[in-house]
Structure 1
């Protein structure tokens, strides 16, 4: 009975973590704020300011707009996630007795819309509104997968509503700040041959407020730098948590702090046609050290580590109608010692390309595409009763389209 209680406790903790914290902070981060940024691997995105989506990366960059601008678009994320070479059995038994499982494709296609509007009040002040997402993922194992107490369904979504303002101090310095209201929802289901079809069925929602601030330094017309910081909120998640009968439900709300994010970007226009740009981003994943409720119940501990993004890109202006761009990003994993087959994560590389077509002086269309390459990661998971050992790999194609209009 103690082992069963330990398992249920672990399973509920893992499920709620995925459906509330992962829904809002997942094992990996979405980069889907704009098709323009996608086409250059988001290199320089905290300072380039070539459309209104820049407010998602640095509110100070809104000071570089001299007329109102609207940007709206969508990024499609087509994930190719495989769990392979899996072996499954009783935790107390030697691995030689485990059953080999067929390779399982658990990826899906998700769509991440975005909308931004920047409005200069005068030569000094600008305000902006953004609706976008920073975190989310979806993986789904087949209903007949033997180790579904570790797999199952993980479907996580977030929406960020941002309101920001900027102030131009002088020709070189601009500052900005904003508030964020974040909502998230997650669905997670777990089952298993030893546990039945309804081991775990979680549907949770949460919300919270955060803030962001930034600065831009313009050395001259062709060279500028941006620095921004995003403070993420404490999330209180609540919802239905259905698990094996005979055990008490967990009281209180689940508290989870999203990672803070800091970013430094540079942009250099080398001549009339060629520009280079780069970014370094830090994501404070180590704040996800434990999962606890408002009544003081600690459900689980985690050993995540801070993440880093390093990106570099280039832009080539062909003529007044066409602009081409490309970029590369190296993205480090948030997971360290503790791995999961339900939310595979690894260091990743991004290869990106994109273009802009200016069909008038006021309107343009951006297209971006990225191929994201993950690594093979060995995973060993146990709940004290059953165990699964496997290798995971997560690749993805990202496609973006965006429309921008200057009023």
Structure 2
């Protein structure tokens, strides 16, 4: 079994629990990727909607682009190394009762903010909000159980952002933008060797938007609030679904749904952040609270109204707090902690080791040659053991799942 996390934050998020989409994630609950920058990674993204230490802030809050007095460029990559454990599998699949897999993937990002004048700023960015990759290979077993609860799922998504910010006065700034979400996914499940019960290879584009505001109490204290609307995406391509799945039974090879598209909804997000530099010190504290509307991911269905899988996820949140120490003009030190709640509710899956998660983060930045900065971030993400019980027709499977991860990133930023 190979399981890794894909990025380019934002689209299809489907991985499987018998014969559908879900997600084997590594970075955040559900299939969310918190990986917009290595700078934010080093503080568990605490305060990221308002700190504005480089152009990556536009991914969290467009209004914060107004905080810069020069043009800004930033680009980087985070590497996510996952450790997935599935234990106590009953009945054992392919003579295996325990499965462990480690895998890694890079998650790139790039941003540019252009300051038109004292009031207007424009921004463009490419990054990812959602994504996953989950493959159960031949070593996982060739039995009916293995084919029913395992398979191939590959999802990638890219968010193309175009934003504008306007400084209203010395205290208030507002911003907004368009999010073009492009994604593709591949999903295969076999009813028998070489006989597909589910075969999806599709891609699509959805349009979302974001709104934000920043309030500056003074030069050392400010707050940010942002809203990101995520679209429902209709993905077209090769879509074959045996309707036996929709009825909760085994694939029967008859009454197949072909030529339809896959419909799925992505969660919208609301984030509040604060930043406070303690007067006459080199230390600042910052925090964030983000709500994620996972309840929209209720049922996966085709454009013809055929239900493929019930998920019934619940809305979630994450809370983060961090600190920054400005050692001198060249060096900045960061640390942070995040608590991230699971998206799954009553329905669980061996293919979705979802749980509440804790982030332990640290990082630093080095400012050199006046306009250049390199940031490094590191996070240990600790999940929890989750008891899983799922059914597919006459087949029942129970197991214990756990997903931990290590994330490391580097970010280069230039102001001019």
**TM-score in same-fold range (> 0.5):** yes
Q: 1:270 aligns with which of 278, 281, 296?
A: 278
Distance change >3 Å, CA 405–CA 377, structure 1 → 2: same
* Superposed displacement of residue 187, structure 1: 2.0
1:62 and 2:88 matched: no
How many residue pairs match? The answer is 384
Aligned CA RMSD, in angstroms, stands at: 2.3
Tell me the distance in 2 between the aligned counterparts of 1:102 and 1:254.
Answer: 33
Tell me the distance in 1 between the aligned counterparts of 2:398 and 2:326.
Answer: 50
* Residues 160 and 182, structure 1, Cα contact 8 Å, conserved in 2: yes
* Residues 323 and 357, structure 1, Cα contact 8 Å, conserved in 2: yes
Tell me the distance in 2 between the aligned counterparts of 1:340 and 1:184.
Answer: 23
* Superposed displacement of residue 342, structure 1: 1.4
SS at match of 1:28: coil
Corresponding residue number in structure 2 for 1:176 = 175
Q: 2:206 aligns with which of 208, 218, 226?
A: 208
1:345-390 deviation digits (Å, cap 9, x = unpaired) = 1000000000001122100100001000000001111111222110
Q: 2:298 aligns with which of 282, 289, 302?
A: 289
SS at match of 1:144: helix
* Residues 16 and 153, structure 2, Cα contact 8 Å, conserved in 1: no
**Unpaired stretches in structure 2, ≥5 consecutive residues:** 1-14, 242-250
* Residues 88 and 97, structure 2, Cα contact 8 Å, conserved in 1: yes
Distance change >3 Å, CA 100–CA 85, structure 1 → 2: farther
1:137 and 2:132 matched: yes
Corresponding residue number in structure 2 for 1:93 = none
Tell me the distance in 2 between the aligned counterparts of 1:388 and 1:293.
Answer: 26
Tell me the distance in 2 between the aligned counterparts of 1:18 and 1:187.
Answer: 12
* Superposed displacement of residue 101, structure 1: 2.5
* Residues 20 and 309, structure 2, Cα contact 8 Å, conserved in 1: no
Q: Aligned ranges for residues 45-194 of structure 1 at < 5 Å?
A: 45-88=48-91, 101-146=96-141, 147-191=146-190
1:196 and 2:193 matched: yes
1:36 and 2:33 matched: no
Tell me the distance in 2 between the aligned counterparts of 1:156 and 1:317.
Answer: 39
Q: Greater shift after overlay, 216-225 or 148-157?
A: 148-157
1:235 and 2:233 matched: yes
Tell me the distance in 2 between the aligned counterparts of 1:183 and 1:150.
Answer: 28
Tell me the distance in 2 between the aligned counterparts of 1:142 and 1:296.
Answer: 31
Distance change >3 Å, CA 14–CA 203, structure 1 → 2: farther
* Residues 87 and 100, structure 1, Cα contact 8 Å, conserved in 2: no
SS at match of 2:256: coil
* Residues 239 and 260, structure 2, Cα contact 8 Å, conserved in 1: no
Corresponding residue number in structure 1 for 2:321 = 312
1:121-174 deviation digits (Å, cap 9, x = unpaired) = 100000000100001122333313232421223222110000000000000000
Q: 1:369 aligns with which of 356, 378, 391?
A: 378
**Unpaired stretches in structure 1, ≥5 consecutive residues:** 1-10, 90-97
1:359 and 2:357 matched: no
SS at match of 1:364: strand
Name the TM-score, length of structure 1 as normaliser: 0.89
Q: 1:299 aligns with which of 282, 303, 308?
A: 308
* Residues 137 and 157, structure 1, Cα contact 8 Å, conserved in 2: yes
Tell me the distance in 2 between the aligned counterparts of 1:372 and 1:212.
Answer: 28
1:6-33 deviation digits (Å, cap 9, x = unpaired) = xxxxx999645349xx9xx983310110
Distance change >3 Å, CA 122–CA 99, structure 1 → 2: closer
Name the TM-score, length of structure 2 as normaliser: 0.87
* Residues 47 and 274, structure 2, Cα contact 8 Å, conserved in 1: yes
1:382-402 deviation digits (Å, cap 9, x = unpaired) = 111222110000000011101
